[in-house]
Amino acid sequence: MPDDEYTAVLARAAHHAREWLNSVSERPIAAAVTADEVAAALGTHLGADGRDPAVVVDELAEAIEPGLTAMSSPRFYGFVIGGIHPAALAADWLVSAWDQNTGSRIPTPGTAAVEELAARWLLDLFGLPATSGVGFVTGGTTANLSCLLAARGEVLRRAGWDVERDGLAGGPRVRFLAGDAVHSSMVLAGRMAGLGVPRTVGADDEGRIDVGGLGAALADDAGPAIVALQAGDVHSGAFDDFASAVEVAHAAGAWVHVDGAFGLWASASPSLRHLVAGFEAADSWATDAHKTLNVPYDSGVAIVRDERAMSAALGAHAAYLPVPGAVAEPYDHTPELSRRARGVPVWAALRSLGRAGVADLVDGLVASARALADGLAAVPGLEVLNDVVFTQVCVAAEDDERTSALVRGLVDDGVVWASPSRWRGRGIVRFSVSNRGTDAAEAARTIDAVERVLGELPPAR
């Protein structure tokens, strides 16, 4: 065993990681160079001769750094991006060092055990059935896809069609329905699952599904159906009325899936759990650990009430794979066969936070979002458009032109980064509070920076 083959290179990696992490909260947030400039700095030609691994790591870190965005800054509010919990980061490094192909409990009992614990803890925190199948997938999109594949198999099985054996072609059509504010990830998952784009049934001003419209659409036709609901609208943060929507969908025999990429975490907080009331009656749920839980990429979680439907859709069978025993194998719950043990960093984050720590994390994000909304609403010329029930805040200036000037001004200023978007027919700046470091002080600093940048723009016409 070469005892020093990894020593120097890991020391360099740890050094660069520390330098980066220590710079993240104070450096200008946006990347300073383009992708082409990073490629040019690295040299685009693969030479014939190799290089020492430690030199490669130094070269990489130096060339890439100006091309990195400080996404884990406590004042980065773009998209929906979590920060990095230290226990999860360190566990993630170990997962790479251990290099376990976590497909089966038999050759990789260590990582399988840790993932099973993480799965059990997640179900417990969310208040979902303890017998549900849980898959550790790459993100919310693959979690949505995994759940839709289980849903598709089950609703077709009930209609007398075996999609796992015979495929979709020639079988009954599966209706796929969602509210008007359905996330693009859900649409993509539907396309990948062969369900096509969902038929939208309406939504209210905050993006909550129109339950009357859902009932009418389901009554329009018969046959297998899947309904996608939403915990946490990406603009407003709003939650569907699960109790009513699940009842209407189940009365029509539909499978109900909940896309809760960031919003499912409301269920882990006693003070926010009312937002998801009734969601536990659904059939499947998707969430991310790389958003609200602040686990590094990539980390999503697919949950299916009927574990057998999940295994039927996703399980693999081959002569060299162990015959599944009483407990499902990890490869029965994810679309991949070979994969890293991405449930291990989830376990580490949960272990480090504890039940109260998870609730405090979610409560803290929501408190900061409210503080941000209050502060921004008080800035002359700014308006908060959504009802801030969770972590999302949509802000607009007097007109679209000024709003986009504000977004650009913030990027150039470097202290705050938020996403441009359109909502309810208006250009907006969207703040998603998803980082464990975004406390009251960072929210106050954000409000100051926005007010200052707005003040530096040419006066409104």
Ligand X SMILES: *Cc1c(COP(=O)(O)O)cnc(C)c1O
Residue 183 binds ligand X, judged by CB under 6 A: yes
Residue with tokens 């996404």: 71
Separation of alpha carbons 47 and 35, rounded Å: 21
Q: For the CB of residue 184, give the shortest distance to ligand X in the complex, in Å.
A: 8
CB of 406 vs ligand X, minimal distance in Å: 23
Smallest gap from Cβ 258 to ligand X, in A, equals: 10
Helix segments in 159-241, DSSP class H: 163-166, 184-192, 211-219
What sign does the dihedral 234-235-237-242 (CA atoms) show?
negative
If one counts every other C-beta atom within 10 angstroms of the C-beta of residue 21, the result is 13
What's the min distance (Å) between Cβ of 320 and ligand X?
31
Cα(200)–Cα(98) distance, rounded to whole angstroms?
A: 45
Alpha carbon dihedral 111, 116, 120, 125, in 10-degree steps, equals 30
Here the tokens at position 100 are 């376990």
Q: Report the residue closest to ligand X, judged by CB.
A: 140
Q: Which stretch binds ligand X (CB under 6 A): 102-110, 210-218, 256-264, 417-425?
A: 256-264
- Helices and strands in the chain, H and E counts: 14, 11
E strands, 275-355, where? 284-288, 300-304
Residues 187-226 that bind ligand X (CB under 6 A): none
Query: 3-class DSSP state for residue 381?
Result: coil
d(CA 154, CA 302): 16
Residue given tokens 């569907």 in the structure block: 240
Nearest to ligand X of 259, 336 (CB atom): 259
CB 385 within 8 A of CB 395: yes
232 belongs to the binding site for ligand X (CB under 6 A): yes
- Give SS3 for 133: strand
Minimal distance, residue 259 CB to ligand X, in Å: 5
User: Which residue, 95 or 181, is less far from ligand X as judged by CB?
Assistant: 181
Count interface residues toward ligand X (CB under 6 A): 13
Counting contacts by CB under 6 A, is residue 241 touching ligand X? no
Asked if residue 185 binds ligand X (CB under 6 A), the reply is: yes
Which residues, numbered 266-305, are part of the site for ligand X (CB under 6 A)?
A: 288, 300
Q: Nearer to ligand X by C-beta: 111 or 299?
A: 299
- Residue 80 makes contact with ligand X by CB under 6 A: yes
Sign of CA dihedral 277, 143, 113, 312: positive
Residue 386: exposure state from Cβ atoms within 10 A (0-12, 13-18, ≥19): buried
Tokens encoding 453: 């940048």
Q: How far is the CB of 144 from ligand X (least distance, A)?
A: 6
Distance separating alpha carbons of residues 209 and 179, to the nearest angstrom: 4
Nearest-approach distance from CB 80 to ligand X, in angstroms: 5
When asked if residue 141 is in the footprint of ligand X (CB under 6 A), the reply is: yes
Work out how close the CB of 418 gets to ligand X at its nearest, in angstroms, rounded to a whole number: 15
Query: Tokens 């969602």 sit at which residue?
Result: 178
Q: Please report how close the Cβ of residue 105 comes to ligand X at its closest, in angstroms.
A: 26
Can residue 336 be called a binding residue for ligand X (CB under 6 A)? no
* Closest CB to ligand X among residues 187, 350: 187
Asked if 139 is part of the footprint of ligand X (rule: CB under 6 A), the reply reads yes
SS3 301: strand
Stretch touching ligand X by CB under 6 A, among 55-63, 138-146, 241-249, 321-329: 138-146
| Strand bridging mode 255-259 / 284-288 | parallel
236 binds ligand X (CB under 6 A): no
Choosing from 234, 266, 289, 309, the residue that interacts with ligand X (CB under 6 A) is: 234
Indicate the residue among 161 and 255 with the shorter CB distance to ligand X. Answer: 255
259 is a site residue for ligand X (CB under 6 A)? yes
Residue whose CB is less far from ligand X, 135 or 232:
232
| Footprint of ligand X (CB under 6 A) | 80, 139-141, 183, 185, 232, 234, 259, 261-262, 288, 300
